[in-house]
Structure 1
Amino acid sequence: MIKIYLRLLMLLCSFSLFAQDYFPSNSGVKSDNNSNYMAFTNATIHVSPSEVIKNGTLLIKDGKVVNVGKSVNLPKNTTTVDLSGKSIYPSFIDLHTTFGVEKPKRDGNGPSYGPSRSGFYWNDHIMPEQDVMASFKYDAKEASELHKLGFGVVNTHMPDGIARGTGALIALNNDADNSLRVVDGETTQNFSFSKSVKSNQSYPSSIMGSMALLRQMYDDAKWYADGKIDTRDLSLEALNSNKNLLQIFEAGSRANLLRAAKVGDSRNIQYTIVGGGDEYERLDEVKATNASIILPIDFRKAYDVEDPFLASTLSLSDMRAWNQEPHNPRLLAENGVKFSLTTHGLKKKSSFKSNLMKAIESGLSKEKALEALTTIPAQLLGKSNELGTLKSGSYANFLITSGDIFDSKTKLYENWVQGMQHVITDMNIKDIDGDYSFKLAGTDYKLNISGSSSKVKAKLESGDKSLGTKASYSGDWINLTVKTPDSTKKEFIRIAANTVNNNNLSGTAVMPNGNEYSFFATKTSEKEIAESKKSKKEDSKETPFMSPVTYPNLAYGFTEKPKAETLLFKNATVWTNENEGVLQNTDVLIKDGKIEKIGKGLSDRNAKVIDASGKHITAGIIDEHSHIAAASINEGGHNSSAEVTIEDVIDDKDIDVYRNLAGGVTSIQILHGSANPIGGRSAIIKLKWGESADDYVYDNSPKFIKFALGENVKQSRARRNERFPQSRMGVEQVFIDYFSRAKAYDEAKKSGKPYRKDTEMEVLAEILNGERFISCHSYVQSEINMLMKVAEQFNFRINTFTHILEGYKVADKMKKHGVGGSTFSDWWAYKYEVNDAIPYNAAIMHNAGVTVAINSDDAEMSRRLNQEAAKSIKYGGVSEEEALKFVTLNPAKLLHLDDRVGSLKVGKDADVVLWSDHPLSIYAKAEKTIIEGVTYFDLEKDKQMRKAIAKERSELINLMLQDKNKGLKTQPVKKKEKVLLHCDSEDSGL
């Protein structure tokens, strides 16, 4: 009998040991307990997003999946765990984190203009040699936080620099050392547009500078790989050796995503790009990049719009973003864009699940969501055989859940990484979450319990009253302390109950007067819950409302991109800017984007006829010097930045484009700023509101570059002025030095011998060869003379002096040199070097035979350039026709576009404006602004759009108020002031 007792005792002990082995504390299973086979049976196993096994078995050993299926043969030494009613999923993968990496600290010293390192690339912000493992330190606390979200593996990198070095794939295994955790120490090569915080090297100081630097880096790497550089460069060596890794580019916005893709395309590199969540604005363009997207789901909260005054300051674009962002994953999936999901960008990682649920509620399928968290990141890493699924041979990285992992009520019990258990919620604790109903002392109550497997919460209602309730749960007993429905008394009911009969609650209730009652609460059945869900699903079958995306996606955007029309204007006063002069009661026919005919009595049966009686038609206004529609203006990190181009940073969402159209402007030159003597290349664009940034740019656009003279470039008003030059004679020397270098470079290139490609020198050589034109920011006559002499020394000419407020002093010299003048009508005294400006400047230069234009250099003035041109009639007696040419034909001539725009002539582009009055009158309004036959601004449609905007704002405000009434968190309204860029604007994007 004693032997039998001892055997039973041993059996009980062994069962106890097994229980401790499988249901440990949160420290997890130790590696020495995981050497045998382990089988998880009777579970719904999601082997992959598309393969599900009901009542299946998962067999693991030594951190790997041995077998999975409906019927799996279990070896003798197998520990079996029954997971009846539970589900198993592959654990998630995050491709873009900084896990285990300390945030780099900023160097507090002043700017420097050279590198701080030797043996590496000439720019400190290029650090492809950076190995994340050199500074990696496993963070068990952060890993535990990621376990709760379902992640088992993360790719980490050093978030510092433009070329950031290699990333590593880390298993979130809290019970192993790095030799096991590091799945792969070199997985990715990482890039961004942001400079290193560890270096104060000034260049680049703009996004366009970063783009130029990346292109030059790749060119230098090729030159280095070809063995043409004798000096060893550890950065270029690393860049070349890591070129076959996954190339990840952190963009952070739709616009920067397209810019990153543009850099990659220029050097035949396909980036995987970290997006910004706003890809839905230009899905066709995003898809055309062929890039896989690493997608943050950092959705903004609704704005608190209860205060009507504050709500009126909230932009429609911000309101739309709140509504549209959750639909982004769905739209990417529907358009066949491959993406994975990341926690990157979240202030609190705990919000990942709620945001993911919001994306699913907004139409993202659960299968696509699971793909984005498992198979797609594994595929991008080239690890499909090891990660992302639960197929034989893969890592035993899996989640045990109470059900559908994308159901908000599903509990995540355990997260297994490399066969190691990490307990999230103890499965031994009986789950009593749910809705209950009971009657007590003649009163009906409804009870909701949540968090019973972790931190229990209870809500109790009687009628329409919510009663204050405190709850605790231990050992299958729940204790409730409830405030009575009578709000005039501070009395409480105490309830102690146990779970019986399929999770119903039974126990005792003690009333405030001490009387005890039997307590029995009936739990809402799974069937009732399913029927309720079905009913709710039927009530809301459609995807939640999404505000329509417009082109561009802000106020006054088009619901559909406008198309070219055949238009016939009848009986207008036509300002031709040609020999015909101003024609009265004349018709203009526009067809196929061109001016088809000008004359009287015209007809075309396919044309849309517009009565223009009493109205005026002119060519579209052209602004020779503008800074609208650009995300960046200055690259001042060097005294020459000829390698950068404004075409890289066109902002197709700038509302000033629409405002300029309302002022009759159809074309502009976006000039680089005046931070340095040799600035960046221009972008000459048509204001095709709603089109993509690249489609703004003129086809076969003339090549221009911005130079600058004066106070800005010698840094008279700079806080720090360590950069050369710091004097006007230094500015002259910059030009001589750089053109001397460009001449030598061009000679080497033309010699036919191998040469290192240098984009900066290529651009300056184009000037020497007459292939690129200079627009020069200028004020003082001595400097104007100086630059003309430098140009003549190198046998080219300056194309345009812009600003040139002292042009009247040197008009004869300008005429002789062959340079045009683009000036302000009557600006002066805004800084010392313009004290000699006079309003007669334009007329004097014009009378001397100089081609003269009036420019804006200002987002507000550009909307009324017709009025600015009219000032030359008063100040200088210029004729009306010549004054109009100052903002139409003459800037077209200066930009070498007068064969295409600037006048109304058969065969030219149909860039025309219909004015309500004399085009130089302050009363004139642009009723229609047309570019290549497409009406981009229409005064009547503008009125309709204003009504539609008001209606949409009202709809979105109501939706935000609904969110607040549901108890969801909101954010305060913050009015955004639009930053207007000028010549001296600094780029704050880096």
Structure 2
Amino acid sequence: MKLKLLILGIFLSAFSMQSQEYFPKNDGVKTRNTNYTVFKNAKIHIDPQNVIENGMFAIKEGKITAVGKSINVPENSIIIDLKGKEVYPSFIDLYSDFGIPKPKKAENGNSVQYDAGREGYYWNDHIKPDTEAIANFSFDKKEAEKFHKAGFGVVNTHVPDGIIRGTGMLVALTPGVTEGDRILNERSSQYLSFDKSVQSRQAYPTSIMGSMALIRQAYLDAKWYGNGNAKNKDLALEALNKNKDLVQIFATDNLLNEFRADKIGDEFGVQYVIVGSGKEYQRIDKVKASNATYIVPLKFPNAFDVEDPYLANKLSLEEMREWNQAPANLKMLAENKVPFTLTTHSIDAEKDFKTNLLKAIDFGLSKEAALAALTTVPAKTIGQEGKIGVIKEGAWANFLITSGDYFDKKTTIYENWIQGEKKLLNSMDVTNITGNYDLKVDGKTYSLNIKGEPSSPKTELKLGDTKIGSKISFNDNWMNLLLSSPDTTKTEFIRLVANIPAQTEQFSGKAILPNGNETSFQAIMKKDSDKDKKDKKDKEAETHKVVPVTYPNIAYGFKNLPKQENVLFKNATVWTSEDEGVLENTDVLVKNGEIIKIGKDLSAGGAKVIDATGKHLTAGIVDEHSHIAASAINESGHNSSAEVSMEDVVDPTDINIYRNLAGGVTTIQLLHGSANPIGGRSAILKLKWGESADNMIFEQAPPFIKFALGENVKQSNWSGGRFPQTRMGVEQVFTDYFSRAKAYETSKNEEGFRKDLEMETLVEILNGERFVSSHSYIQSEINMLMKVAEKFGFNINTFTHILEGYKVADKMKEHGVGASTFSDWWAYKYEVNDAIPYNASIMNEVGLTVAINSDDAEMSRRLNQEAAKSVKYGGMSEEEAWKMVTINPAKLLHVDDLVGSIKTGKQADLVLWNDHPLSVYAKPEKTMVEGVFYFDIERDSEMRKDIKRERNELIGQMLKAKNNGVKTQPVTIEEKQRVHCDLLEEVK
């Protein structure tokens, strides 16, 4: 075997010597050609919509001077005949870090930094609008060649570091010119993201909501600074104001963050160009409504290896759908008239770009839309319309010369001209011999597949089903092909030589057999029969069958969002959670999302009738303390994060929304975590499964905020170094911040007032415009916070957890605070050791408004059972126990006039149970929110069948894809983390 390889190596060395270059390339600066160069007889794609057949164009000094069917040819012109060739504008990539060195991580990465590390700049290191790409740029010849081969002539590059990242620059990838000649615009755009700078250890922000709040504050501060109010110079704010009229490009990494970026833009009147995720198809309606231009990465997930049934069972439907649907994303953007461009970011431009582009076209993207996304759309987006991305008079001479239709797999890019400078990629004189052939030599017929670039082809050879070793060399249209012996025990070769000067479907030449005898060979290109073409087309159609998008686009999502219905529930046992108590054999009529009538023998009046005989109808459960449906929980970078809002991080795709509806929950307070004494603002949500995050916000609910006491905020179990570290330090935090807030409110009428989002929130608390829900355990701290509140003239609205509430219930009543507690959680940390299961009933007897909450995605699905525990522990009546998960939490959230009970005029948030709602056997059969059934047990049963069927279909597609040689990825098993108050996350 070693001998065979040695002989093969010697043979190939001889081939390579024939193609050796004797004249070195000049990689230095070239003198521009000032003559005219005229190209004729080409099929010219002027732009995506207009083509000139057999046309001409001229260039001089880097610009196109004329183009048309026929043009005047200036004297002394260099004329290049492009007969049989096509010409396209070179491509443009608007999201790149080309030529930019990778930002270096800050040293001492394990230590925590709270203050800014730069003097004379903004108070947060992650706001870096003063960064300039041009100051960091160096032309990277190796990377440029990858772009050249993919067809690109211009990139918009930037330093990909920080939240506000500074200015990008538009660069032509021109070979062999000075740096200055390449720069089309040194301040082309400003870049933003939600990711922190790796060059700073400054802790804040640690969450996506912190990044959003920081951007808002930076915008406000820039306006304030621009009005001349600052006493000290701030170079970052100066740069932010200087950059505000540039194109604003916002980089995101998932669909929800795309919408979050657009939300900030809408608030400040900024229309971002959004770097998307490739998942825009999942909410194309919201994508279109953003009015943004999208920069979309041309990256698709690989199929999963699902041969192992156990691992396949662990694969989520969401992951399988993404593989199936993502290649159709660009088609859906185009069909919905969403302007988009394409980027090579996150892929290998040379290896993957065209492959993925052709895949998108296979999935329905038109060639015209694809070309526009690479040329005219990015040119218009970056303010270079008519200058790049087109072949027209006055535009830069950036164009590709190809062997044919660029969007054909076999088409070769011969040359990529940029600013009138030629980059040779493949010789136009090289014959393209790629294809599948029947190779006949020495009485045998081999199956020969020649693939790759025409100038450097590769081969695959088979004799029947046996793979045969082969190696090809193709230079100056001379082909040398080496065939190994089918008998692997022999070191024998057949050498083939042929001259192939022109494109042909067959060629022949000389063959030298192992015994030295010479003979001839013939290679005839295979043609698919009509049947083969049909079978291939059918096979591709089957593989490319795209499953429908649902809302959300995961298991149990709706193909069509459910509609509001008028419904009459007949003969139910109605738990009113009002003074009327439990009503037997009673009807409830719902119209237009409201409860219209309650009584006996009601008429339907055109409403849908549901026989509820033997069943129980209740108000929807209200969870005062929840952490489901969130992309982040804690902003732990500061000891106060009153400027952040949970409304910014609502995740409408969380499956726990559906599971909560299946447990009868219709309203939740999505609370910030307990990482700091003053946490973030709450989001009160209606659980409208399938709706967008905005449509889940309970608009009529008043604003809330989360405070926290105890072990978490003083970092007993966390590694941290910020103040406070003790319980008395926690008290000082509240005192300091509310003192500052009072002073801030006083300063509002002063000249040069600076709006501070954190202080604005605290002032709302002082003025009774925002309510406080406080994480609490120990009686001493409960007393402390009530005293601090009273000192500053406001009340705590709710103590949540409050497991020592039974010790201070009388003082709580005097203060006017409610309680939202666990039924029987205790001993999971030291400050919970005094918890007792009688806590809820004792506080209820004292006269407090008491609710049972979850703080847990699993517990929230059985809050009805949690409420029932107080019947046993404390002897509460069933009706009073039930109120602790319906009307009482509604009162704590100040929405009891709208939800929490069954009463005429209230919103129709209702649950129909198959059994007594406090029973462990009870199941919700239907859960209604504002007259819409977002959960229905019969529909759920059908969904399960559909999910099973779809999973099997997608697994079948993946198995077929693997059998067809498609690259696959392994299934990885990841358990989703359950979210509680103490979950810490870190933005990149």
* TM-score when normalising by structure 1: 0.95
Structure 1 CA distance for aligned equivalents of residues 738 and 567 of structure 2? 49
Instruction: Tell me how far 1:537 sits from its aligned partner.
Output: 6.0
Structure-1 separation of matches of 2:346 and 2:114: 31
Identity %: 61
Is the Cα–Cα contact under 8 Å of residues 30 and 420 in structure 1 kept in the other structure? no
Provide the C-alpha distance between the structure 2 equivalents of 1:428 and 1:693, rounded to a whole number of angstroms.
58
Residue in 1 aligned with 2:46? 47
Cα distance in structure 2, aligned partners of 1:199 and 1:439: 66
CA RMSD of aligned residues (A): 2.2
SS of 2:147's equivalent in the other structure is helix
Q: Following the alignment from structure 2 to structure 1, what is the Cα–Cα distance between the partners of residues 315 and 402?
A: 42
Q: 1:432 to 1:82 in 2, by over 3 A?
A: same
1:476 Cα deviation from its structure 2 partner: 2.6
Tell me whether 1:954 sits opposite 2:952 in the alignment: yes
Moved more, 682-691 or 76-85: 76-85
Q: Secondary structure at the match of 1:190?
A: strand
Counterparts of 1:368-767 in structure 2 under 5 Å? 368-451=369-452, 453-463=454-464, 465-483=466-484, 492-499=493-500, 503=504, 504-512=506-514, 514-523=516-525, 544-720=544-720, 722-749=721-748, 751=749, 755-767=753-765
Given that 1:164 and 1:191 are in contact with CA atoms closer than 8 Å, whether structure 2 keeps it comes out as yes
- Alpha carbons 2:854, 2:863 under 8 Å: kept: yes
- Alpha-carbon deviation of 1:432? 2.2
The aligned counterpart of 1:5 is none
Distance 1:439 1:92 in 2: 42
- Which secondary structure does the structure 2 equivalent of 1:641 belong to? coil
TM-superposed deviation, 1:442 = 4.5
Give the Cα separation in 2 of the matches to 1:864 and 1:450.
61
Contact 2:701–2:893 (Cα < 8 Å) also in 1: no
1:94 aligns with 93
Deviations 1:134-185 (A, max 9, x none): 1111111000011111111100001111110000011111201111111111
- 2-side partners of 1:859 and 1:340: how far apart? 40
**Counterpart position of 1:67:** 66
Q: Is the 8 A contact 2:32 2:61 kept in 1?
A: no
Cα separation, 2, equivalents of 1:478 and 1:505: 10
Q: Please list the CA deviations of residues 620-647 of structure 1 after superposition, one character each: whole Å capped at 9, or x if unmatched.
A: 1111000000000111111111110000
Cα distance in 2 between the residues matched to 1:531 and 1:752: 83
1:104-131 Cα distance to aligned partner (Å, 9 max, x none): 1211321111111121111111110111
1:768-811 Cα deviation digits (max 9, x unpaired): 11111000000000110011011111111000000010000000
The residue aligned with 2:808 is 810
**Alignment deviations for residues 646-697 of structure 1 (CA, whole Å, 9 cap, x no partner):** 0000001101111111111111000001111110000000110000001111
Equivalent residues of 1:253, 1:279 under 8 A apart: no
Aligned equivalent of 1:140: 141
* Counterparts of 2:541 and 2:778, CA distance in 1: 70
Deviation at 1:532, TM superposition (A): 8.2
Would you say the 8 A contact 1:41–1:56 is kept in 2?
yes
Match of 2:120 in 1: 119
C-alpha distance in 1 between matches for 2:862 and 2:336? 42
In the TM superposition, residue 438 of structure 1 has moved relative to its aligned partner by: 4.7
Aligned mates of 2:57, 2:413 — CA distance in 1: 17
- Quote the offset at 1:501 in angstroms: 7.5
Partner of 1:290: 291
How far apart are residue 27 of structure 1 and its match? 5.4
What letter is aligned with 1:193? F
Asked if the contact 1:29/1:422 (under 8 Å) is kept, the reply is no
Per-residue CA deviations over 1:490-511 (Å, capped at 9, x if unaligned) read: 7543322222685332222344
What are structure 2's unaligned runs of at least 5 residues? 1-21
**Which secondary structure state, in structure 1, belongs to the residue aligned with residue 155 of structure 2?**
strand
Alignment of 1:357-372 (within 5 A): 357-372=358-373
For residues 861-883 of structure 1, give each alpha carbon's deviation from its aligned partner in whole angstroms, at most 9, with x where no partner exists. 11111101111111111110000
Q: What SS does the aligned partner of 1:230 have?
A: coil
Residue in structure 2 matched with residue 10 of structure 1 by the alignment = none
Q: Within 2, Cα distance between the matches of 1:480 and 1:385? A: 48
For residue 707 of structure 1, what is the amino acid of its counterpart?
A: F
CA offset at residue 747 of structure 1? 2.5
Deviations 1:585-628 (A, max 9, x none): 11111111111211111121422221211111111111100000
Shift in alpha-carbon separation, 1:24–1:295, aligned structure 2, 3 A: farther
Tell me which amino acid in the other structure corresponds to 2:91: F
User: For 1:61 and 1:29, how far apart are their aligned partners in 2?
Assistant: 21
Contact 1:828-1:835 within 8 A present in 2 as well: yes
Supply the distance in 1 between the matched residues of 2:417 and 2:530 (Cα, whole angstroms). Answer: 30
3-state DSSP of counterpart to 1:496: strand
> Residues of 2 paired with 1:30 and 1:987: CA distance?
50
Distance 1:61 1:853, change over 3 A: same
Change (3 A) 1:472 1:710: same
**Which residue pairs with 2:205 in the alignment?**
204
Q: Which amino acid aligns with 2:236?
A: S
| AA matched with 1:987 | E
2:917 maps to 919
CA 1:929–1:194: 2 relative to 1, 3 Å: same
Aligned partner letter, 1:58: F
Cα 1:454–1:663 shift into 2, 3 Å: same
| Contact 1:432 1:452 (8 Å CA) reproduced | no
Alignment of 1:248-327 (within 5 A): 248-327=249-328
Name the amino acid aligned to 1:675: A
Shift of 1:294: 0.7
The answer (yes or no) to whether the contact 1:588–1:599 under 8 Å persists in 2 is yes
Judge conservation of contact 1:126–1:161 (CA < 8 Å) in 2.
yes
Equivalent residue, structure 1, for 2:828? 830
- The SS at the match of 1:377 is helix
Q: Which moved more, 1:104-113 or 1:926-935?
A: 104-113
1:700, distance to aligned residue in structure 2 (A): 2.5
1:206-221 equivalent positions in 2, closer than 5 A: 206-221=207-222
Cα distance change on mapping 1:26 and 1:429 into 2, 3 Å: farther
Counterpart position of 1:821: 819
In structure 1, the residue matched to 2:18 is none
The CA distance in 2 between the partners of 1:698 and 1:256, in whole Å, is 21
- Spell out, residue by residue over 1:234-259, the C-alpha distance to the aligned partner (whole angstroms, 9 max, x if none): 11111111111100110121100100
CA distance in structure 2 between the partners assigned to 1:864 and 1:556 by the alignment: 20
Separation in structure 2 between the aligned mates of residue 326 and residue 452 of structure 1, nearest angstrom: 25
Match of 1:11 in 2: none
Q: Secondary structure at the match of 2:237?
A: helix
Gaps of 5+ in 1: 1-22
TM-score (norm 2): 0.95
- Quick check: 1:130 aligned with 2:131? yes
| In structure 2, C-alpha distance between the alignment counterparts of 1:839 and 1:724, rounded to whole Å | 34
Q: How far off its partner does 1:976 sit?
A: 2.5
Report what 2:793 is aligned to: 795
Is the CA contact 1:639–1:677 (under 8 Å) kept in the aligned structure 2?
Answer: yes
Q: Secondary structure at the match of 2:31?
A: helix
Which residue does the alignment assign to 1:8? Answer: none
Alignment correspondent of 2:4: none
Aligned length: 965
Contact 2:412 / 2:453 at 8 angstroms: preserved in 1? no
Amino acid at match of 2:82: L
Aligned to 2:13: none
Distance 1:29 1:798, change over 3 A: closer
Instruction: Report the alpha carbon displacement of residue 452 of structure 1 after superposing the two structures with TM.
Output: 6.0
Contact 1:552 1:691 in 2 (8 A): yes
Query: Larger deviation: 157-166 or 493-502?
Result: 493-502
